[in-house]
Structure 1
Amino acid sequence: MRVITCIATEHNLWLVLLAAFMCVVGCGVTLGLFQRATKTAGLQRRGWLFLTAVAAGSSVWCTHFIAMLAYVPGVPITFDPFLTMMSLLIAMVGSGAGFALATNDRLHLAPEVGGALVGASLSAMHFTGMAAYHMAGIVEWDAGHVTASIVIAVVFSALAVGQAVRRPRRWSLHAGIGILVLAIVGLHFTAMAALMVEPISFISAGTNPEILEAMAVAVLVVGLIIAAAGFASHLIDEDVRVESFERLQHLALNDTLTGLPNRMYFSDHLDHEIGRADDDTRIAVIVIDLDRFKEINDLRGHAAGDEALKTVGRRLNRLLRDGEFAARLGGDEFAAVKRFKDQKELLELVERLETALFEPLQVEDFELTTGASIGVAVYPHDGTDRERLVGNADLAMYRAKADVSRAVCFYEPGMDEAARDRRALANDLRQAIERGELALHYQVQTSVPTGEIRGYEALLRWKHPERGMIPPAEFIPVAEENGSILAIGEWVLRTACRQAAAWDNTHKIAVNLSPVQFAHVDLARLVHEVLLETGLAPKRLELELTESTIIADKARTLHALRRIKALGVTVAIDDFGTGYSSLDTLRSFPFDKIKLDRSFMADVERSPQAKAIIRAVLTLGRSLEIPVLAEGVETQMQLSILQVEGCNEAQGYLLGRPRPIDEIDLAEAADDGAAAEPVFAAGQRRYG
């Protein structure tokens, strides 16, 4: 009752309302800044704590000063300027120390202890300010009320700071503001209730009450300006934080090169579409892989490749309509999502995609039609979750890539079986060497003019324990995909050299190399080690590689080939005539032999064009002084044509079938002058 009476009868209520307004605004800004400080660290936290201390000290001091001006003691009053300024300094420093302590993560009760320190500093500020408040009378203090005011300030401040730190929710902040207001109001008016003044009649000089009211308004304005500055800092930081978050979110969800959504965004969008699909809605997942993108990188560089990807991205972005979504998954792989009810809508989108992707790309002065392989899977028929849909669309895309007659392939259940069979084959292939399932067969290479044996080509064979003989064209691509080609290639090289070293003649042994070996193995070092280990003369080893091996990484491959030739090993280019840069390949590296692809021999008897190409290659070989070996010789007529045209060497079923090492002598006798036999399935280019 004493406190209530003090407020009602001994204060100017208008100024009390101004003080209350200042208190609420100041507490709101203070705890808002303090919460921001708790979410930062290092120098940034120190900056926010400084702003918190300034806002807390100035707003509480202004509240206290306006409330003191509202007090009507009934006697003249004056102010001590030094103690008045000292009380402001105490409020700022003390509250800053308390809030800093409250952010100490190593102290269990740091928020409460720090809040208590804030309350203590507010009490010190109040009584220092009261010491600066000089009244013309005898002043007495009630110890009980003084103690109660300090306890109120310490306890309620501790609760307010603890509320702001331990429960960082919006309503918790509001509760903390309310508790801190109670701490300040309780401190001030309980302490004022402890004050009793006995007037001294002979002192009449004091400050004009009108001036005091003007001072109160001025202090309020200054306090609000300081609080507004703190609040503005909070808003600016919040705006910058939101902008930074949006920018980072855009970078996280969008491809920086094309501007299209990235794989993460694509996954989230597809999950969202599946989640909102009803019984009448279907979701199509379309996976797109550019067909000739690598050619752009190889011929024009990665900058041109990036420009091509940007062009494709812009085209995809332009063709999208309502319910359609496109993203770049990585590299030259893109994807689209279509929500539809009528199959015609999906087919119409696929048609638009084909048109956009098969339109020529203009990169600087270079124009190229890349084309694309497109795979489509539809929810819910082809899968009910994202992983299954994308996986099935991938399977369809690979089917389209393997089939040159079509660019778009829809998923079919049989593709799963083919994929599982391919994975099982890959698993068995990894263990084929350990189980002794691999073997080498040798096919003779002879001189066309004389018929004498010049060497043998080592051809890889795999006898599966359950499937029997598996064609190289079937298992070699699988080995290259899963990386087992490295171990297999080393085994082929080592085995061929060891067996050839045991022969009683000096015939050459030709071994095929995979592009993967050049990309992942120090091939020159491996060849050197194998030659030393087996004792085979370097001049008896001939390594064969296709043009695609060189195009994959020209600089790296040519460097490795030069190191291999330095060992004394010869190098032949295989399947010549099937690549798109044969002449440039011959110019870039001095090959020891050109192997003419078997496809030309198959048509030479009935195709003048094939005969003309063979004649041109042989003429080129003579000009460059590089011997030419023709593969796939199966008839006497083909051999006669090669003799007339001046071919150096030949290889094929007419001259000798591939045989195991222990049957080579028998094979030579049996095949001498034998009639032609049907050719094996195409694909015995690498390792057979």
Structure 2
Amino acid sequence: MYRIYDCLATQHDIVLVLVAIAIGLGGIHTAFNLYARACMGRLQQRFAWLFLTGVVTGGGIWATHFIAMLAYDPVLPVGYEPVLTATSLVIAIGATMFGFSIASVAGPHLLLSRLVGGLVVGLGISAMHFTGMMAMSVPGVISWHMDIVIAAILMGAVFGMISLWLAGPARTPKQKLLGKVNLTIAVATMHFSAMGALIVTPDPTVPVPAQLISQQYLAIGVAIVAALLIAIGFVTALVDRQMRAHINNRMHILGDSAIEALVLTQNGRIIDVNESFLRLTGTKQHDVIDQDFLARWLPETPLAFQQGNLNYVETSLRLENQKELPVEVIRREIPADDIADDTTIFGLRDLRERYAAEKHIRFLAEHDSLTKLLNRTTFNDRLSEALQESDETGVPTTVMCVDFDHFKELNDSFGHIAGDHALRELGERLGKLISDELTIARVGGDEFVVLLHHQNRTNPNSIKTHTQEVAQKILDCIALPIFINQENRAKLSASIGVAHYPQDGADAESILFHADLAMYRVKQSGGNDVVFYSSEMDEEYRFKRQLASNLRVALENEQLELYYQPQCHADDKEIQSFEALLRWKDAELGQVPPGRFIPIAEETGLIIPLGEWVLRTACFEAAGWDKPLGIGVNLSAVQLQKHELPEVVAAILEESGLDPKRLELEVTETALIHNPARSMKILSDIKKLGVRIAMDDFGTGYSSLATLQNFPVDRIKIDQSFVTKLVGNAQAGAIVRAVINLSRDLALDVIAEGVETDEQANFLTDHDCRAVQGYMFGHPRPISDYAHIVHPQTPAPETAPEPAKSGKKPANRHSGIETV
């Protein structure tokens, strides 16, 4: 070590040593810039850049060596043999070019290729050095300390290997700096260590060839070669860098303008990203460069995508703290060109908004938009799954149909906005009851369905108890008052029908149908209750369906008929008018009471054509009477809600030619309160035609006094329920007297229904009720039995059917069509 130091300190010109090091640094600096460029692009371009790298690196090292040789003073005159000097330059260029070429090879043995390439460069430096030393000629004998020679060669080889290992592809400033520093150390340590091993023994007898290159000429030549090579390499690298920077800048602008995140990789490692990727991941560019992109950011991608056999995938982007972000990734391979090596570009798009939109769309498709509960389609799917599970486990499944009582009245009273508000609030309440065993859905209007899983319950009593408990929770939930406005709160109730699978049905359709039947049974009983399905309900439904079908056929085939009941003057029993009453005798079922088929007609909508047929038939019949008696026709609640009713009445009067004053339309208080405003408008329009309006069943409905005040009524009919109790019931008598007095004070006509005895007739006559109707004065009969009344010239029948000794008028309170 001392010998090396002594040689450097005493036998070298320090200025020239520093110049040599500076030239070496310049050449090596330019060389690594060229090497970085040689590591990318197409194969033919790589060869060109590697050749230039070898020329600049070898020439720079050769120049460094010979300038350092010029700095060495052996005390003897020195000359240089031209062929060996040129050979040393060729060795330097060839070795460095070959070494850098090996190091630039990418593949599975990347580290090995860099180490081998560095070894070749290190050994090439040694070969160039000793070849150059062989070119030196002095009048003396040259010998070596072989231990120092070996150490010098080893140091050059080791630092050469370290240089290309740390430099890698020389893409980052850090990689380039490490490569330059270690290669400079390799050149310097190898050269000056080897010079320390040199021993020159003067010997005048040693001949010196005449064709030697003097130190002056060598200095000029070395300076020219070094300057040209370094300048060529520097200018070439500078031009290429500027061109690449321009292209990269344009690509960066283009990439940063993209909404999608873009990542460029080579050999799986990131070489560039755009701003969208940095924003998406919350990172800085220097943090992600040279990372293994798929392993670090997309570890869950399938193998086919990683190998390039699949170009699209939806996966998760791994962020910091193990957070994951849903993304879609597109992979595109970019072949090598004159500028860059084979590159893979990944385009990433954040899927959070799309997933949220898809989730919202699925929610809208599966849920009711008003209540946020499940809709009919989704419920049916859940029901099918539940029935399949029930088949597998043997545990029954329960379905409930829930319908709010009098919900239409809430809409009519406060408007549909209030109704929607009520449904929203009820939906929110019911939604809080939903659990793993309870599913609730809205299937339309104010109709809801419930699916109840009994889990491990198999005992029938336990299942029934569980069902009743759940149903009661639903009833209690619905019964809470609902805020409508500052002045009003609505309190609803519900009717719940229950059916069990498989006990009450073999499939989803039958279970729902039977639960619906049970719910309608609750409705018919007044609501606010729970009813379990039974087979009798199905029989009743089938009977109603048959009845509705037969009634439709009877209407189409004119198999219906009207009976007429007299309405008489109380004093002389003279008939003043008739009330038309519908009768139906079915070929299969026999005589069907109106109280049986009228409600079914209202449920099925047949009441509209049926009521029009009754009105038309009665008007045409009355128009043909010789005696202009009045004719009374009942209107149902459904008819009274049809805006076109006044036009229908007017058309029938015109077609039949009946004087409007002879027609009296009877309506019930119950029919009027469904929609008071609409009823008022319709009755007012009918009244303008000259038709009389009678209030039927007065006293049995709602707010009778308000009804008389607000509606255009001409006559009041005292309900038979009061007339029947006249004898022996002081309260009934008081009510009848009050109604008669009220009618007189309001200048309204009054008629009592259901008069059957002399005591009843006498009471009414004594209290100034001048019109009566009942079995005492005549039964409902075909008009032919009253032909002598309506056609006075027709003789009276010799015999007439005996009037019933007693009988009550079974009026149908659900319909305006009389059911006597």
TM-score range, shorter chain: 0.5 to 0.7
Identity percentage over the alignment? 37
CA distance, structure 1, for counterparts of residue 99 and residue 537 of structure 2: 92
Match of 1:184 in 2: 335
Match of 1:351 in 2: 472
Q: Are 2:809 and 1:677 equivalent residues in the alignment?
A: no
Give deviations 1:354-373, integer Å, cap 9, x for gaps: 44445666755446654332
Match of 2:817 in 1: 686
Q: Are 2:444 and 1:330 equivalent residues in the alignment?
A: yes
CA distance, structure 2, for counterparts of residue 318 and residue 494 of structure 1: 54
CA distance, structure 2, for counterparts of residue 89 and residue 613 of structure 1: 101
Give deviations 1:24-55, integer Å, cap 9, x for gaps: xxxxxxxxxxxxxxxxxxxxxxxxxxxxxxxx
Q: Are 2:541 and 1:419 equivalent residues in the alignment?
A: yes
The letter of the residue matching 2:466 is: E
CA distance, structure 2, for counterparts of residue 678 and residue 462 of structure 1: 20
Match of 2:396 in 1: 282
Give the secondary structure class of the aligned counterpart of 2:700.
Answer: coil
539, 545, 562: which one aligns with 2:684: 562
1:139-538 to structure 2, matched below 5 A, reads 180-181=332-333, 183-185=334-336, 231=348, 234-235=349-350, 238-277=351-390, 278-310=392-424, 312-318=426-432, 323-340=437-454, 341=457, 342-343=462-463, 344-358=465-479, 364-366=486-488, 370-404=492-526, 407-520=529-642, 522-538=644-660
CA distance, structure 1, for counterparts of residue 435 and residue 330 of structure 2: 51
Q: Are 2:670 and 1:541 equivalent residues in the alignment?
A: no
Aligned 8 A contact 2:753 2:772 in 1: yes
From the superposition, tell whether residues 91 and 497 of structure 1 become closer, same or farther in structure 2 (CA, over 3 Å).
same
Aligned 8 A contact 2:494 2:529 in 1: yes
Q: Are 2:192 and 1:78 equivalent residues in the alignment?
A: no
1:405 Cα deviation after fit:
9.2
Give the secondary structure class of the aligned counterpart of 1:79.
Answer: helix
Match of 1:33 in 2: none
The letter of the residue matching 1:271 is: S
CA distance, structure 2, for counterparts of residue 9 and residue 455 of structure 1: 127
Match of 1:588 in 2: 710
From the superposition, tell whether residues 284 and 575 of structure 1 become closer, same or farther in structure 2 (CA, over 3 Å).
same
The letter of the residue matching 1:246 is: K
- Structure 1's unaligned 5+ residue stretches are 21-64, 97-159, 193-222
Aligned length: 541
CA distance, structure 2, for counterparts of residue 354 and residue 268 of structure 1: 25
1:439 Cα deviation after fit:
0.7
Give deviations 1:419-462, integer Å, cap 9, x for gaps: 12212222222221232211111111112244222211111111
CA distance, structure 2, for counterparts of residue 13 and residue 625 of structure 1: 120
From the superposition, tell whether residues 352 and 91 of structure 1 become closer, same or farther in structure 2 (CA, over 3 Å).
closer
From the superposition, tell whether residues 404 and 607 of structure 1 become closer, same or farther in structure 2 (CA, over 3 Å).
farther
The letter of the residue matching 1:492 is: V
1:108-147 to structure 2, matched below 5 A, reads none
From the superposition, tell whether residues 627 and 434 of structure 1 become closer, same or farther in structure 2 (CA, over 3 Å).
same
The letter of the residue matching 2:612 is: E
From the superposition, tell whether residues 295 and 361 of structure 1 become closer, same or farther in structure 2 (CA, over 3 Å).
same
1:628 Cα deviation after fit:
1.6
CA distance, structure 1, for counterparts of residue 597 and residue 246 of structure 2: 88
The letter of the residue matching 1:338 is: L
1:82 Cα deviation after fit:
9.2
Larger radius of gyration: 2
CA distance, structure 2, for counterparts of residue 384 and residue 471 of structure 1: 35
From the superposition, tell whether residues 302 and 637 of structure 1 become closer, same or farther in structure 2 (CA, over 3 Å).
farther
Give deviations 1:142-175, integer Å, cap 9, x for gaps: xxxxxxxxxxxxxxxxxx99975xx88779xx99
Match of 1:630 in 2: 752
From the superposition, tell whether residues 480 and 386 of structure 1 become closer, same or farther in structure 2 (CA, over 3 Å).
same
From the superposition, tell whether residues 469 and 13 of structure 1 become closer, same or farther in structure 2 (CA, over 3 Å).
farther
Give deviations 1:312-364, integer Å, cap 9, x for gaps: 44554455565223333333323322212232222322333344445666755
1:568 Cα deviation after fit:
0.9
Give deviations 1:279-298, integer Å, cap 9, x for gaps: 34111111122223333334
Give the secondary structure class of the aligned counterpart of 1:433.
Answer: helix
668, 690, 697: which one aligns with 1:575: 697
From the superposition, tell whether residues 436 and 631 of structure 1 become closer, same or farther in structure 2 (CA, over 3 Å).
same
Give deviations 1:394-431, integer Å, cap 9, x for gaps: 00111122234982211112222221221222222222
CA distance, structure 2, for counterparts of residue 362 and residue 168 of structure 1: 51
Match of 2:126 in 1: none
Aligned 8 A contact 2:811 2:818 in 1: no
From the superposition, tell whether residues 654 and 377 of structure 1 become closer, same or farther in structure 2 (CA, over 3 Å).
same
1:534 Cα deviation after fit:
0.9
The letter of the residue matching 1:243 is: A
From the superposition, tell whether residues 666 and 95 of structure 1 become closer, same or farther in structure 2 (CA, over 3 Å).
same
Higher RCO by CA contacts (8 Å cutoff, separation 6 or greater): 1
CA distance, structure 2, for counterparts of residue 187 and residue 448 of structure 1: 120
CA distance, structure 1, for counterparts of residue 801 and residue 770 of structure 2: 19
The letter of the residue matching 2:628 is: T
- Aligned-residue CA RMSD (Å): 4.5
Q: Are 2:719 and 1:602 equivalent residues in the alignment?
A: no
The letter of the residue matching 2:728 is: R
From the superposition, tell whether residues 169 and 446 of structure 1 become closer, same or farther in structure 2 (CA, over 3 Å).
same
TM-score (norm 2): 0.58
1:613 Cα deviation after fit:
2.0
CA distance, structure 1, for counterparts of residue 774 and residue 805 of structure 2: 9
The letter of the residue matching 1:458 is: A
Give the secondary structure class of the aligned counterpart of 1:425.
Answer: helix
CA distance, structure 2, for counterparts of residue 520 and residue 418 of structure 1: 30
From the superposition, tell whether residues 420 and 612 of structure 1 become closer, same or farther in structure 2 (CA, over 3 Å).
same
From the superposition, tell whether residues 560 and 89 of structure 1 become closer, same or farther in structure 2 (CA, over 3 Å).
farther
Aligned 8 A contact 1:593 1:628 in 2: yes
Aligned 8 A contact 2:687 2:712 in 1: no
Match of 2:265 in 1: none
From the superposition, tell whether residues 425 and 93 of structure 1 become closer, same or farther in structure 2 (CA, over 3 Å).
farther
Give deviations 1:582-602, integer Å, cap 9, x for gaps: 222222222111122222223
From the superposition, tell whether residues 615 and 91 of structure 1 become closer, same or farther in structure 2 (CA, over 3 Å).
same
Give deviations 1:124-158, integer Å, cap 9, x for gaps: xxxxxxxxxxxxxxxxxxxxxxxxxxxxxxxxxxx
- Structure 2's unaligned 5+ residue stretches are 1-41, 51-97, 111-169, 180-228, 257-306, 317-326, 790-795
Aligned 8 A contact 1:298 1:551 in 2: no
